[in-house]
Amino acid sequence: MPALVSSSEFLGPLGEVEQLLDRMEAEGRIDPVIDPKLAALASHARTNLDFWQNAENVPKETAFVEYHGWRNVSLVLSAMKDRFQNAATMHENPAVVSEALSILPGVFVTINVLYETSPSQVTERERLRILERVRNLRRNALRCGMLPSPDKELSGVDLEDFRKRLGDLALTIGTDLVET
């Protein structure tokens, strides 16, 4: 099972990205060095979501909210990277920098709440707090065009495995799922 990326390994480079964005905004130009930095951060988030996808000895509902949180951080950072890669072609400079700066605080908050929650002691209240942070992040990312399309978001997801895991989770928390 993969190990979690530590908070310092994640938050340090995320702070560097924020400083880079501030500089780009002041200079009015995009620095291509942002692409590998965002790619590395998205990779860290995927490592953490892989950890939670395969977590054992942790309640399923805890593993699910942690996985869900890291997956959404990964999706937002990947979409942000894509926007920067296409910014010149799409004539989105400097808007993409401003939009990334408006989303970054939500990324920080979501990551902090994911790291500060002890997996062995996650209460229902903490799970709801994580889900609320993720909802806010997604809402802001969607508003700024930094959330993948639903088709892209579901690409690479084994839907059969997803349905099985979701059904198992529903049984664990005592909820019935309705198929549509």
Please say if the pLDDT value at position 85 is more than 50: yes
- Whether residue 154 is contained in a domain is answered as no
Instruction: Return the amino acid letter for 149.
Output: S
CA distance 178 to 180: 6
In a domain, 80, yes or no: yes
Mean pLDDT, residues 97-122 taken together: 91
* Mean pLDDT on 99-125: 90
Using a cut of 0.75, tell me whether the model's pTM lies above it: yes
Q: What is the mean pLDDT of residues 107-114?
A: 96
Range of the domain at 107: 7-148
Angle between helices 34-53 and 7-27 (to 10 degrees): 150
The answer to whether 108 touches 14, Cβ cutoff 8 Å, is yes
Q: Residue 174 domain-assigned?
A: no
- Asked whether residue 41 is domain-assigned, the answer is yes
Domain count, the chain: 1
| Closest residue by Cα to residue 106 from 152, 139, 68, 71 | 139
CB within 8 A of 172, min separation 6: which ones?
Answer: 59, 60, 61
Residue 100 C-beta-side C-alpha neighbours within 13 Å: 31
Residue 169 lies in a domain: no
Mean pLDDT of the chain: 88
Does 157 map to a domain?
A: no
Check whether 176 has a pLDDT greater than 50: yes
CB 100 within 8 A of CB 58: no
Residue 34 near residue 14, CB atoms below 8 Å = no
Tell me, what's the pLDDT at 35? 95
Q: Cα separation of 7 and 111, whole Å?
A: 8
Q: Is 171 a domain residue? A: no
Residue 180 belongs to some domain of the structure: no
* Torsion sign, CA atoms 155, 159, 163, 164: negative
pLDDT grade for 30, boundaries at 50, 70 and 90 = very high
Dist CA 30 CA 80 (whole Å): 13
